[in-house]
Structure 1
Amino acid sequence: MSQRWRAVGVLAGTLFLVNVLARLVIKLGFDEDDSAADRVSWVMFLVIGLILAVMAFRWGRDRPVARWSTDLVVTVAVALALTVFVAPLLVGQNPFAGGAGLFFAQIWLYLAATAAGVLVGYLVLTALGRDHRSQQLKRYAQLKAAKPRRVVRR
């Protein structure tokens, strides 16, 4: 059980670190250039989505959907809270400095990037037929095909 939550914590920390690195790049390199800062933000969201797509692909192969999706929901919730409230403080900003619009836009963009990443990872896994459910059905079909039919006498 602790192994499960350790993986969730490491993944949440990784997502948080990606956000902090993007904020540092924006602060140190593109503080005055808004278009470059926007591009760095988009790259950050792309990286976060890609990380979650890979994790959905990996965890979806050997775990039921209910288990790995719960793990990813907890991961995204923790990483989102850290990203919205702690990451701005680490780079010397106030989390609410941009106003309510920017604060909630950040939340919606983060949730959209994570949902898209998880969806892409799981859809690719399902399309390849390597998800947990497909593997169960494949094993069941092989088991039923391997048993000889019983002869019924009357």
Structure 2
Amino acid sequence: MARRWRDIGVLAGLLFAVNVVARLIIHFGFDGDDTAADRVSLGMFVLIGVILAVLAFVWGRRRPLGEWSADVAGTVLVAMLLTVLVGPLLVGDSPFAGGAGTFFAQIWLYLGAALAGTLVGYLVATALGLDHRSQGLKRYAELKAAKPRKVVRR
């Protein structure tokens, strides 16, 4: 159980670090250039989606969907709260500096990128037959095919 919480904490920290790096790049490199800032933000959301896609692919192979999806949901929730509430403070802004629309847009974009990445990773694993359930069904089919059929006498 301790390892499970450690994995969640490390992943949330990694997702938050991606956001911090993107914010620092925008703050120091492109201050005032909205087009470049939008591109860096888009890159950040794509990177978050890719990280979660790889994670869903790897965890989907090892553990049942119900077990790892709760971990990913908790991780995304913690990382999103850190990103939206703490991230702006690191570059000297207020979380609500852009108004309520910007605040909630960040939440929806983050959740959208996380959901899309997780779905892509798990669907690729499922399509390739590498997810936990498919592997269990494959083992069951191999076990049933290996046993000779019993002859019933009448």
Q: TM-score, normalised by structure 2?
A: 0.99
Asked whether 1:75 is paired with 2:110, we answer no
Give the corresponding residue for 1:47. Answer: 47
Aligned to 2:17: 17
Equivalent in the alignment of 1:3: 3
**C-alpha separation in 2, matches of 1:147 and 1:81:** 53
Q: Counterparts of 1:131-146 in structure 2 under 5 Å?
A: 131-146=131-146
Question: 1:128 maps to what in 2?
Answer: 128
Q: Distance in 1 between matches of 2:86 and 2:24?
A: 13
Q: Give the residue type in structure 1 aligned to 2:26.
A: I
CA deviation profile, 1:71-92 (whole Å, cap 9, x unmatched):
0000000000100101111111
1:28-47 matched pairs, under 5 angstroms: 28-47=28-47
1:55-70 superposed matches below 5 A: 55-70=55-70
CA distance in 2, matches of 1:107, 1:129: 33
Count of matched residue positions in the alignment of Structure 1 and Structure 2 = 154
Task: Quote the RMSD (CA, aligned, Å).
Answer: 0.4
Name structure 1 gaps, 5 residues minimum.
none
Task: Flag structure 2 segments of 5+ consecutive residues without an equivalent.
Answer: none
